[in-house]
Amino acid sequence: MLNFGLVGLMVTLAAVVIARESVVPQTPIRHPGQSEKLIEAMEKVLPTIIEQAVTIVEKTGNPVVLIPLHKGSTEFMSIEQFKTFYWPTLRKLMLGLIDKGAIPCPFFEGDYTSRLEIIGDIPKGKAIYRFGTTDIFKAKEVLGGHVCIRGNVPASLLCTGTTSEVEECCKKLIDFVGKNGGFIMDGSAGIPDQSRIENVRAMADFTKQYGVYN
């Protein structure tokens, strides 16, 4: 999988500017004139970023583009800020990748539960959405059948839980999120280095054994 961190960096920088323009996160920016400049700057660099990502996809033959995303979650900005500054450019980015035959895989770090309806506005069957702490069961309700959902065994469980607890979590994810397909089992933040080996094995082995379609 291609990890194209520059993509996430672009929208993260936008989020940082929003925060600096605000008294505190989730408050309106104090200088509305800066909003237009921010959007204009993101629009200007977008074609270059898409071109760079597609070039790497073509060279590697791997169509999946991992897009780490930061500071667009509920904890950091309001839903109106997300609609104005974050989602429009991110959506254009993903559409640009899709048009070139790539598969965008944004990693929505943090809680995006309140934004699920918004981020569903892309072509059906063309993206993988990886979630960190978003309510993945709600994500299935809203996005199931539209995007492939990836996640989200808690990192804390992999690091401190028992194998039985890991298997129970995986079963719940497979039964609900994996129903009718469109699901990839993964940790909420990948597989932490501190994970217990037996828990990682339990997640993999249980998924292979139980996560099958008749």
Distance CA 210, CA 186 (A): 15
Give residue 5's pLDDT.
45
Q: Give 3's strand partners.
A: 66
Q: Where are the beta strands (DSSP E) in the chain?
A: 2-3, 64-69, 103-108, 128-131, 148-153, 183-187
**146 near 181, Cβ under 8 Å?**
no
What is the reported pTM? Answer: 0.87
Give residue 31's pLDDT.
56
Query: pLDDT truncated to tens, each residue of the chain (214 aa)?
Result: 555 444 444 445 554 444 444 434 455 555 556 677 777 877 888 888 888 888 888 988 999 998 888 788 998 888 988 898 889 888 998 999 999 999 999 999 999 999 999 999 999 999 999 999 999 999 999 999 999 999 999 999 999 999 999 999 999 999 999 999 999 999 998 899 999 999 999 999 999 999 987 6
Give residue 32's pLDDT.
58
Determine phi and psi for 30, rounding to 5 degrees: -85, -20
197-210 and 163-176 helices, crossing angle to 10°: 30
Please, what sign has the CA dihedral across residues 174, 179, 181, 182?
negative
DSSP assignment string, 69-104? E-S-STTTS-HHHIIIIIHHHHHHHHHHHHHTT-EE
Give residue 122's pLDDT.
97
Q: Can you give the residue ranges of every domain in the chain?
A: 2-110
**177 near 211, Cβ under 8 Å?**
no
